[in-house]
Structure 1
Amino acid sequence: MSARLPRRDFLALGAAAAAAPFIPGRAFAASPTGTGLHGLSAFGDLKYGPDFTHFDFVNLDAPKGGTFNFLPNYWYFNQSPLTFNTLNTFVARGDAPPRMELCYDSLMVRAIDEPDAIYGLLASSVTISDDRNSFDFALRPEARFNDGTPFTADDAVFAFDLFKKDGHPNLLLPLSHLKEAKALDPHTLRLTFDGKQSDRTILDVATYAIPAKAFFETHPFDASELKAPLGSGPYKVGRVSPGQSIEYERVADYWGRDLPVSRGLYNFDRIRVEFYQDRQAAFEAFKKGDIHFRQEATARIWATGYDFPAFTAGKVIKREFPSEKRPTMQAMALNQRRARFRDPRVRQAIALCFDFEWTKRNLFYGSYERSQSTFEKSAYKAEGLPSPAELALLEPFRGRIPDETFGEAVLQPPSDGSGRDRKLLGQASKLLSDAGWLRKDGRLRNDKGEALTLEILVDDDAFVRVYSPWAENMKAIGIEATLRLVDSTQYQARQTSFDYDAISAAAGFSATPSRDEIDGLFHSRSAKLQGSTNLPGTADPAVDALIDAVGAAKDRETLTVAMRALDRLLRARQDWIPNWFSANHRAAFWDMFGYKEPKPDFGFPVEAMWWFDKDKAARIGKT
């Protein structure tokens, strides 16, 4: 299962690679000033030297051609996998189609076989000022938009100013400390920060996709149009059927096709995304061959659905790929902008009503594990008692944060698997009673006579099936719990305006999270910013201080300590109720593609890395 939560950046879909000699780089914190650098990283050496020709995870001999029709399993900003009504993915409102990012280039791109390195795309190099607050990007003079017009520093200045003023919150927040974007000349861009930014802010900002200034001089910067902003990327928008399908056409004369960060990537002539409101309808389309690739998000289908003729004939492959070595979170957010959810005892009681063990056995076919952490599957997950270094960060807030923060890392307790664990429900009832919610006429009411109600907002029938037993357990202890299934457009609008009691979310973080990356989820500055991903409305000075500690970390050890301390506090606060996670990608695809193994450790952009194999396609009748 996965939920809708746009993530921070474009996750290196503009990267590419193959073998290159190992030439040591330098950590960003120690990167020399006053000289042009081909790449930056947060900690440690760069894998690729200034003369690298390609990344190691691509096949330089991959042929170009074919169509890749797939169901995206992740998306960014205002994008939706269920429908779309705008082609502007840079704003908070509206539903844009996934993979619009393929139409745009960025100053630099992430290498997905390294935890935090970026290398030049639109920029050939970057020079850091002596005070490390200014960054001069040398732009490639050959860079072109897809209409043939040159890309200049003015385009970048316009984009950064626009994003800082009116962009999606996940673009806007990291730019809060950008003092000025300035074109020194047509091919030199200077970004100057105010000194309050994290050392790693530039690693995020430099990967922002940049549309053409000329487009927005004649079109509004909002979600009102189904006309794509002009980009300079390897794909452009082709055929569009609003709300139903979109095709991205490979730009044959893409200006950056021979750059080291692009070689071996972007092999399909067309990338097609189709939209289905119903998961079963999407699966039926895959079975018929209308969809070529899917990552299976429904445990029931993975366990029981692969018995159709094409699969039994060997035309469809079903296999698992290792997940990325990055932290993930799947959790339920309780909206603390509503007074009844502000008491952590209420949030804890609601969490106790979720019987994961029963759900795993009866609905998940044993295929998921219980998530406990905000940063699951990573070294940033807090375990056991806090270390002395963690305590040093937490002690200044003793008495102002939950006492549980200073003990064993908070865990969601296992149930007896019955579906209605009397012991856990009894604990939940006591917590609610202690919080002032008492039974009256079979319902829990506070001293004002108000009933304790909770509506779980969902946009997929699959979540109705999974969350209904949770709601039934809440009803058993007097909470008036309901589920509200709405269409994708209404769901997006209600999420953007924080119009919900409870909503689920899935998020992936980079291997080296920055302050800017986690601000939107946890910092008080995002709590009232509509469209942000701070879904619970977390606004706690202690959380803010720990996020600042994450941003100030100068080495991976210090970063890990700060992240673990933050995880402890978030789990003790019960802002997010952790749900479940899977250790691997469960993928199914028609046997008509080539791909290189092993997959990179920090990303899995299949549509950018794989290629169409004519011989395989011919063998299964998919020429």
Structure 2
Amino acid sequence: MATFIFPLVGANSAVAEPTHGIAMHGEPKYSAGFSHFDYVNPKAPVGGSFKQASRGTFDSFNPFIVKGTPADGVGLIYDTLMIGSADEPFSRYGLVAQQIEVAADFSEVTFYLNPAARFHDGQAITAKDIAFSYEILTTQGAPHYRSYYAGVEKTEIMDERTIKFIFKPGENRELPLIIGEMPVLPAHYWQDKQFDRSSLAIPVGSGPYKIASFDAGRKVVYQRDEKYWAKDLNVRVGHNNFSRMQYEYFRDTTVAFQAFKAGVYDYHQEYSAKSWATAYHGSVFDQNKILREKVADANPQGMQGFFFNLRRDKFQDPRVRQAIATMFDFEWLNRQLFYSQYTRSNSFFANSELAANALPSEQELAILAPYRSQLPASVFEQEYQPSHTQGDGNIRPQMRQAVALFEAAGYQLKNSKMLDKDGKPLFFEFLVYDKSFERVIQPYRKNLSRIGIETVISLVDISQYINRLNSFDFDLVTMRLGQSNSPGNEQHMFWSCDSAKSPGSRNYAGICDPTIDALIEQVISAQSREQLVVQTKALDRVLQHGHFVVPQWYSPSHRIAYWDKFERPDIRPAYSIGTNTWWAKPKQEHP
């Protein structure tokens, strides 16, 4: 493979020099010495509280391991080496690391730490802490850290505030940015504690908030650290304006919404189309005490769907998976249950230029051609489209298509049962933790029963749900895998053979295909935005035609509601709702 040499992003030559920020492709938007991001109010007042709801429960303040259920918002107590802006696809600017130096051939990256950086207990953040963070996350952290940082060969501490990451051979221009996202953990705090065990002991962090109080499993309150070392740093100005961030836990969405209307919490993001259309009525809405709006979402929507667990023998044949997917009547659901608010998911990078639409281009064909013998012909010959109905409940054409696919896979419909080659009826389970989702699954179950497939819904609590996900103990599970505008190393976590074998990984489907692994590497090694788009489309196309999921739907906007207690900047960031830039009105109006 040829070696490509690129100048350091933000530099004027191919010689590596320290810089304030980097972008995945091209130049970062904000130049050295910028005062603040465009979408913040640098004079926003500090004070008040921001209360929101969480689902289920929690039993841990360690979000970095598989064990336990971490409290929502715990990331507020941690800083990272660098931080992204919410109005660029993928750029990173100095936080704990005030400067970054990337080798011209992307073989290594050096971080120069800010001498002012401190943990909450007052100890300085040093290169030793960065090396410790990398080591503990990759050896005892959740499996996705090992996958995410797999391109690192070793670390070298240059001095107290300088650390170098040396990379394995390859062309991974994303890796410096990925390392920049690494949370910074205090070596001195963890040296006599067991990192891989969930605990409600309050850890030491370095972020803008500290854990102030909690009621195990019910509530957690974060207090703004007025001594926060980076509060006046350009990347933090105008952010984290609330004195308290509070998460109230509810086991049921209906109960949570009633609590919201009663003023128990301030901000609610609505995920139910039916509720959005029918539940927002009453005096608090009529009097504009609670405001609601749709906020456009420029991010790729990824894929939401019923993910098959290919670790189960019954789902190994793609024709079986396609047949099961064929019986999902999205059009009827959208009309009858969702008030026609959703768009059908048809890509793993939906709602973006990265999605594979139409037939493959010449550039895509060139990428896919070496793998033609390992791929289904449909990848090259057909545009992927999920099964489509008229939405009137008539699914006879889908039934005929599904039965034909089952027969091609060795099944037969006999005595109202779909039987495999050994005469065993096909049966599988839908794993859910949200009771409200049963109304979506029940019509699907009815359709499947019409071709002899027996199913069951297993409703479990959130802790059991997470445990079963982590151990891959499920048949079908509803999941949304979001995507960034700059896909890269995280694709290993979603689709690679290594992640398929790692409990706790995000490869829920258990995909293990050498062709997909090779296409992931090409996405990671893209040398320009144009290459990234084409290579991602090629990967998306193979995933589409693998029928690994039953595609569901997405909304191109966020549905939010909030008590009229807040103000916000005039400019909203393109890739975020931006609540971390809001502030409390000078005099909060409580219900």
TM-score, L = length of structure 1: 0.91
Shift of 1:26: 6.5
Q: Which residue of 2 aligns with 1:576?
A: 549
Residue of 234, 250, 260 corresponding to 2:224: 250
Partner of 1:7: none
Q: What is aligned with 2:51?
A: 69
Match of 2:490 in 1: 517
Q: Distance in 2 between matches of 1:106 and 1:32?
A: 27
Equivalent of residue 545 in structure 1, options 515, 518, 535: 518
Q: Which of 145, 169, 174 is residue 195 of structure 1 equivalent to?
A: 169
Distance 2:289 2:460 in 1: 36
Question: What RMSD in Å do the two structures reach over aligned CA positions?
Answer: 1.6
Per the alignment, in what secondary structure is the counterpart of residue 573 of structure 2? coil
- Partner amino acid for 1:119? Y
Q: Secondary structure at the match of 1:427?
A: helix
Alpha-carbon deviation of 1:51? 1.0
Structure 2: runs of 5+ lacking an equivalent: 1-6
Give the match for residue 4 of structure 2: none
Tell me how far apart the structure 1 counterparts of residues 364 and 13 of structure 2 sit (CA, whole Å).
28
The corresponding residue for 2:282 is 308
CA positional deviation for 1:420: 4.5
Distance 1:28 1:500, change over 3 A: farther
For 1:342 and 1:106, the matched residues in 2 are separated by 40
Contact 1:29/1:554 (CA < 8 Å) preserved in 2? no
What residue number does 2:214 align with? 240
Tell me how far 1:197 sits from its aligned partner. 5.9
Q: Which residue of 2 aligns with 1:399?
A: 373
2:572 corresponding residue in structure 1:
599
Aligned-partner SS, 2:183: coil
- Give 1:388 shift: 0.6
The 10-residue stretch of structure 1 (139-148 or 406-415) with the greater mean CA deviation from structure 2 = 406-415
Aligned to 1:172: 146
Aligned length: 585
What CA distance in whole angstroms lies between the structure 1 residues aligned with 2:17 and 2:97?
A: 14
2:482 paired with 1:508: yes
Instruction: Output the CA distance in 2 between the equivalents of 1:168 and 1:605.
Output: 28
User: Any conservation in 2 of the 1:237–1:247 contact (CA below 8 Å)?
Assistant: yes
Answer yes or no: is 1:41 the counterpart of 2:14: no
1:614 maps onto 2:586 in alignment: yes
1:531 corresponds to which residue? 504
CA displacement at 1:82 relative to structure 2: 2.0
Aligned amino acid, residue 369 of structure 1 = T
Structure 2 residue corresponding to 1:489, chosen from 446, 453, 463: 463
Counterpart check, 1:52 vs 2:34: yes
1:385 shift after superposition: 1.0
CA distance in 2, matches of 1:389, 1:370: 27
AA of the residue aligned to 1:141? P
Matches within 5 A, 1:153-164: 153-164=127-138
Asked if the contact 1:86/1:224 (under 8 Å) is kept, the reply is: yes
Whether the 8 Å CA contact 1:405–1:568 is kept in 2: the answer is: yes
Match of 2:33, as an amino acid?
Answer: D
- How much has 1:408 moved relative to structure 2? 2.9
Structure 1 match to 2:3:
none
2:246 corresponds in structure 1 to: 272
Give the 3-state SS of the residue equivalent to 1:156 in structure 2.
helix
CA distance in 2, matches of 1:30, 1:164: 35
The C-alpha deviation readout for 1:512-545, integer Å capped at 9, x for no partner, is: 111x121111111111111111111111111111
Bigger drift between 105-114 and 215-224 goes to 215-224
Is the 8 Å Cα contact of residues 8 and 103 (structure 2) preserved in structure 1? no
Corresponding residue for 1:12? none
Given the alignment of the two structures, is residue 369 of structure 1 paired with residue 343 of structure 2, yes or no? yes
> In the aligned structure 1, how far is the partner of 2:553 from the partner of 2:453?
23
In 2, are the aligned partners of 1:177 and 1:197 still within 8 Å (CA)? no
Residue 223 of structure 1 deviates from its aligned partner by 3.6
1:103 correspondence with 2:77: yes
The one-letter code sitting in structure 1 at the alignment partner of 2:390 is: D
Partner of 2:190: 216
Q: Is the 8 A contact 2:53 2:250 kept in 1?
A: no
3-state secondary structure, aligned to 2:306: strand
Normalised by the size of structure 2, how large is the TM-score?
0.96
- Determine if contact 1:26/1:46 at 8 Å carries over to the other structure: no
Q: Displacement, 1:29?
A: 10
State the percentage of identical aligned residues. 36
Secondary structure of 1:215's aligned partner: helix
How many Å separate the matches in 2 of 1:139 and 1:335?
43
Query: What is the CA-CA distance between 1:406 and the residue it aligns to?
Result: 0.5
